[in-house]
A and B are shown apart, each in its own frame.
Chain A
């Protein structure tokens, strides 16, 4: 696939190199000259205009980078490197951006990472104006995760092995075609396929012991949809009907005796697992209906709304066959083999609706109001019998906000949001009831202001103050204040500054559990392009973030209250400087240097560096050579065994 794609793109490049010289010569001058003669006869004749137009009116354009990457052996933990970066060696199509344009026909394609990178993506759009528009997205994502510090019960024994590790791939393809785009009635059809597959390590859990075993993952989702959009001057409606077919065939296997995580025998008997086959066969489907509308019945009123309904359901066959030495803790009986077969099913009708309007009684005053409701109900069965431990969820939100512009450059707004709902979920094993009920009631005051100080500077602020009578979880924000501010300033013609401040403070009232949460993020950025950026371009951002969370909880075995602390103090610096060196009139190599630095202290101190340097040298009018160097380094004070560092180099060509 990859060599074929490479060959196709290279051929496309050759085509692109030839065509611009020929096509405009026979077509564009004719058109441009005719245009010039017809449309602007009074203006001075422009013989060069046709040539200029021809030069720009290239039918086919491409920007393609192909190169090869190599790297020094990863020093430190290679599994962590693969979990965080995972870039490998070899030939790659680093990225491309191609465009074909002739009359009513337009085709574009973009992509990156092909040849083995963990994030390969491709977008292709093909359109004949007024007739159809086709869009295709495809992504291959390699997901590797094996971090020995994550949920590792053997860490205290010095065993650095992740028992929940995965080496999987996900392939996502999304296609859509619209007919008669730009018209009043636009039928459309879409198809999406999402597939995940690979291997990993997971745990087979038996009474009093758990065994890390091989797991094979394989899930597939096919989504089919179609509908009609109606686009009128004052009215739009979209009706869509779709269906999902879903399968998940995960299994866990083992052959050969393993002792599991339990270090000590029970009643003098050591537990172990010999052979295992645990399999899930999930067969699911869903139908959904979506109806959306917007309307502007009169000039001072916008209305929009939507209704979405889906009913996902599935049937599951679970089978388990294992032999070894196991114990049933309730009866304290030991046994050697076990065979389990369970059937379950679940259905989850889900309805979402919304309605909103914007009123503009005066040119400088408007009122926005909206209502949202989201309701779902899980209806499970096990072995054919309905389960009492179901999940229900009803969520409602109503918001009204007024926006006022007292002067052209100032906008003020204020409003109120009320959020309410209720839920039902199964309770813990020690609870006297099989299910727990919860409620949500939150009152939120809203305020904001936008101020365009001058054409070059603006400031925006946004404030939320919430008070809750009921929340769903102990970790839910209860009484909080949230402030967000953003600003930008064009200090000089080619120097732009921008920044944000975000603050969130939550304090639970005494009737709730203690939960203090404070976070703030401050970020500043600049873009500097002296002289229009022909020689030097510079971008840089600095971000400072801090999180402080304190929550009381109960240690289960001793039922003592203690405090859960979490701290995060973060500095992030990113930047890039690009220098186009004026070595000669025609040869102008470009040197870029930059990268990012992330330093955090607190509960999990981490330093992560990603510097890079790149040199791009033109060798022909449409051909550049590039060389790139990157360094990745991760270190964590508490989990030193998870650190890594590596050097990477890449060379290649850029055709444009």
Chain B
């Protein structure tokens, strides 16, 4: 009996406490009152269409479409009273964005992409309020620092000059194949978008081109070797595959194509004769 009384007495304050009202939507004009500069920038961003478009159900309350109902924050002006996707965990933050963006073509594969698996939030790369996208070189480079450093090598793709961008080759939203590589047209390797002369198909294919891709021989970001090759000498590049040691492994190209005299510098320049190294239309040994 005494215990029951204690529980009732302790419970009284809770019953007497007024239930905190759920925050309500206030509309973007209220947000603009304090965040004028931010709002003006936002009006030029693609997201501003949410303000005028009824499709998403947030007409005239576009700010709250991401930040949630803002009445509590409007009264207290306290940052903790409103949702800030930048401070949420990546999955929670992404849920906010994917509320609208999930079923769009750029999201295909995103749920299995490297960024999604590694908890990289949409807001890590995208400035939601700003009209212009971030500069993707510095944007990607703040995480992929070592990769960006590879573009300082002498033989490289012209990233800094704007000749090519990270997203020309990679789909940051995800791709199922290695390194989120893009494809061109349907399922051709993305490299062929610019290097169309290597497209083929060739009557005599060089197998690594199709099976392992260009990176079997080339450092795609940058290299200190000419032609962005992984080895400084052509002979070393070729013979590491074309050698018949360890044939138990049943690898392709292991049996040497011929008895070449490697003491002769002419022969060491493999591509001096095998000029169609990416594939030939007419010659089995890629000579023409």
Contact = CB atoms under 8 A, between A and B. Distances in A.
B152 A202 contact: no
Interface stretch (B4-12, B15-23, B63-71, B112-120): B112-120
A295 B193 contact: no
A380 B204 contact: yes
B139 interface: no
A304 B111 contact: yes
Interface in B153-206: 153-155, 158, 161-164, 176-177, 183, 185-188, 193-194, 196-197, 199-205
Interface residues of B, number: 124
Interface string A252-279: 0000000001100000000000000010
Contacts of A97: 132
Given A426-B204, A551-B240, A572-B152, A172 B111 contact: no
B144 interface: yes
B26 to A, nearest CB: 10
Given A129-B49, A164-B271, A556-B260, A473 B193 contact: no
A437 B152 contact: no
A605 B117 CA distance: 38
A342 B155 contact: no
B176 A476 contact: no
A119 to B, nearest CB: 3
Given A316-B281, A426-B204, A499-B145, A121 B256 contact: no
Given A164-B271, A312-B201, A473-B241, A194 B193 contact: yes
Contacts of B204: 380, 389, 426
A306 B106 CA distance: 12
A545 B266 contact: no
Contacts of B142: 488, 498, 525, 527
Contact of B145 (A405, A411, A541): A541
A203 B146 CA distance: 38
A112 B146 contact: no
Contact of A344 (B162, B188, B216, B281): B281
B210 interface: yes
Contacts of B273: 203, 205, 210
B234 interface: yes
A65 interface: no
B246 A513 contact: yes
A470 B249 CA distance: 7
A589 interface: no
A368 B117 contact: yes
A430 B257 contact: yes
Contacts of A499: 145
Nearest to B227: A150
A600 interface: yes
B200 A312 contact: yes
Contacts of A514: 245-246
Contact of A246 (B28, B199, B269): B199
Nearest to B280: A344
A145 B246 CA distance: 36
A198 to B, nearest CB: 11
Given A476-B251, A553-B240, A348 B200 contact: yes
B187 to A, nearest CB: 4
Interface string A488-508: 100000000011101000001
A302 B263 contact: no
B89 interface: yes
Contacts of B118: 448, 450, 460, 462, 486
Given A151-B272, A425-B207, A634-B154, A39 B146 contact: no
A182 B55 contact: yes
B224 A606 contact: yes
Interface stretch (A7-15, A369-377, A577-585): A369-377
A153 B32 CA distance: 71
Nearest to A49: B36
A354 to B, nearest CB: 5
Interface in B240-283: 240-246, 248-263, 265-266, 268-273, 275, 281-282
A145 to B, nearest CB: 7
Contact of B249 (A471, A521, A608): A471
Interface in A198-249: 202-205, 210, 217, 219, 221, 223, 225, 229, 231-236, 238, 240, 242, 244, 246, 248
Interface in B96-133: 102-105, 107-112, 117-119, 131-132
Contact of A205 (B256, B259, B265, B288): B288
Interface string B29-50: 1101100110011011000010
Contacts of A35: 29
B87 interface: yes
A25 interface: no
Nearest to B229: A150
B287 interface: yes
Contacts of B29: 35, 38-40
A183 B104 CA distance: 11
A345 interface: yes
A552 interface: yes
B37 to A, nearest CB: 8
Contacts of B214: none
26 contacts: A52-B40, A119-B164, A121-B163, A145-B227, A170-B194, A217-B197, A242-B186, A310-B187, A314-B201, A316-B282, A347-B201, A351-B187, A368-B112, A380-B203, A382-B282, A389-B204, A391-B207, A475-B241, A508-B246, A522-B146, A541-B148, A545-B149, A552-B245, A554-B245, A556-B239, A566-B236
Given A182-B49, A436-B250, A572-B150, 14 more contacts: A113-B163, A141-B194, A210-B273, A242-B185, A294-B102, A309-B187, A313-B201, A316-B203, A368-B117, A513-B249, A555-B262, A564-B236, A566-B236, A574-B152
The 3 closest A-B pairs by CB, nearest first: A513-B246, A39-B29, A119-B163
